Amino acid sequence: MRTQVGIIGAGPAGLMLAHLLRLEGIRSIIIEDRSRAYCEGRRRAGVMEYWVAQMLIKTGVGDRLMREAKLHDGIYFAWDGKAHHIDFKQLIGQQIYVYDQKEVVTDLIAHRLAQGEDILFDVSDVSVHDFESAAPKIRFHHKGEDCEIACDIIAGCDGFHGISRPSFPAQVINQHDKVYPYAWLGILAESPPPEKELIYTWHERGFALFSMRGHDLSRFYLQCTPDEDVSKWPDERIWDELAIRLAGARPLTPGRILQKGITPMRSFVTEPMQTGRLFLAGDAAHIVPPTGAKGMNLAMADVRVLAEALTEHYKLGEEIRLHNYTTTCLRRIWKAQRFSWWMTSLLHIDPRRDTFDMRRQRAELDYVTGSKAAMTSLSENYCGLPFD
Ligand code: APR
Ligand code: PHB
């Protein structure tokens, strides 16, 4: 097989990259080691920055998003039984969308297949070769055969556990890693969301987030320990704990719980994001804790930069943007890392906390929901900082 860009991974990053390249007439092949059903069913965070939604709409993959996604004017911070609104629209004239990442993946897969382009699902033993030369290759097994893709560029969009990042020569890579002493228990429940917009809740027993996937479908998260055993969370305990942490700020209507799972919390950045003709994008290069809702948005920002750089490379023969890919992306990534770390530390209870930390957090919450300057800063970061 021969193509221009060989893409590893059919998550938001790989699929959107292939889509943007196709619009510029640049050919690509996507390989994915899981099944189509797995990719389409993997439930992840749901907040989309406005520019991401516009990019999907303008490039012809936003029809369902326009029908089904919900536009939110702001978010709430709640503690001590009171919810405080942070109104993005009023403060900075921006809004965000709530649309699960699995829907984005589903839409992008359907669009690519409808265009007659392929995605090779269920591949195995993927490896990358000769990416320091002008003739990189991707090798893998597919349907019982050994396969090879010869390409100009390899895009490693294979998430945090993929093979692309570990294939970088050890001497070129720097990794910045922070693991938090807590995680999230994620819950999907047949229950009306307690509010039209998201509620981020501080409570001395731990953080809780009240999000939604529809009129009668809620997505909730409870701070738990990283090694939490889900079986210790029967439905009744979950509803009790959600009610305690929301502390009456809004009413809760318990319903059937459809899913429970643990989301780990990590901040991670790889530098550089490129070596030779191998480029990383999305979770393959960086992880943010979900509190800042930046994961999918950062993946989309990377592939926007990469698609522009590759377009310049193929159309004008210019290498500057490709050469600067890491530097361009990292400016946005580090700001999103800072914001995600800040939201996380503000709202979670560190098991090693002392009374000073608790009082400091509460003072900061009071400040963040009381000062127009602080709310404006939060709004800018939450809605997504402008591109250069
Ligand atoms: N070969 C082929 N595909 C692989 C391999 C491999 N060796 N390893 C992983 N993959 C696939 C995964 O199965 C997954 O479908 O790569 C894809 C990576 O997708 P994501 O993990 O969704 O990563 P990305 O596209 O960068 O999207 C980032 O995901 O974790 C969230 O919060 C994060 O929203 C952000 C988004
Ligand atoms: C979600 O709806 O899944 C969600 C929303 C906001 C976050 C994280 C997850 O910060």
Same CATH topology for 5-72+97-176+267-343 and 179-265+350-383: the answer is no
Give the pLDDT score at 128.
98
Give the pLDDT score at 105.
98
Pocket perturbation via mutation, ligand 2, pick of 221, 222, 344, 381 by most ligand atoms within 8 A of CB: 221
Superfamily of domain 5-72+97-176+267-343: FAD/NAD(P)-binding domain (3.50.50.60)
Q: Which CATH architecture has domain 179-265+350-383?
A: 2-Layer Sandwich (3.30)
Q: Is 299 in the pocket of ligand 1 (CB under 6 A)?
A: yes
- Asked whether residue 118 carries a pLDDT value surpassing 90, the answer given is no
Give the pLDDT score at 387.
87
Nearest atom (ligand 2) to Cα of 293: 10
Which ligand is nearest to the Cα of residue 296, counting in written order? 1
CA-nearest residue for atom 9, ligand 2, is: 45
Centre of ligand 2 to C-alpha 74, Å, is: 13
Residue 169, number of CB atoms within 10 A of its CB: 10
Pocket perturbation via mutation, ligand 1, pick of 283, 297, 333 by most ligand atoms within 8 A of CB: 283
Centre of ligand 1 to C-alpha 9, Å, is: 6
Q: What is the pLDDT of residues 56-79, one digit of tens each?
A: 999 999 999 999 999 999 999 999
- Asked whether residue 264 carries a pLDDT value surpassing 80, the answer given is yes
- To the question of pTM greater than 0.85 for the whole model, the response is yes
Q: What is the pLDDT of residues 326-348, one digit of tens each?
A: 999 999 999 999 999 999 999 99
- Asked whether residue 139 carries a pLDDT value surpassing 80, the answer given is yes
Nearest atom (ligand 1) to Cα of 296: 34
* Mean pLDDT within 266-279: 98
Nearest atom (ligand 2) to Cα of 211: 2
Domain ranges (residues) in the chain: 5-72+97-176+267-343, 179-265+350-383
Q: State the catalytic residues.
A: 72, 200, 290, 294, 382
Q: State the SS3 of the chain.
A: CECCEEEECCCHHHHHHHHHHHHCCCCEEEECCCCHHHHHHCCCCCEEEHHHHHHHHHCCCCHHHHHHCEEECEEEEEECCEEEEEEHHHHHCCCEEECCHHHHHHHHHHHHHHCCCCEECCCEEEEEECCCCCCCEEEEEECCEEEEEECCEEEECCCCCCCCHHHCCHHHCEEEEEECCCEEEEEEEECCCCCCCCEEECCCCCCEEEEEEECCEEEEEEEECCCCCHHHCCHHHHHHHHHHHHCCCCCCCCCCEEEEEEECCEEEEEECCEECCEEECHHHCEECCHHHCCHHHHHHHHHHHHHHHHHHHHHHCCCHHHHCHHHHHHHHHHHHHHHHHHHHHHHCCCCCCCHHHHHHHHHHHHHHHHCHHHHHHHHHHHHCCCCC
Give the pLDDT score at 331.
97
Give the pLDDT score at 43.
87
Mean residue pLDDT across the chain: 97
* Dihedral angle sign, alpha carbons of residues 170, 333, 338, 268: negative
Q: What percent of the chain has pLDDT over 90?
A: 98
Centre of ligand 1 to C-alpha 176, Å, is: 20
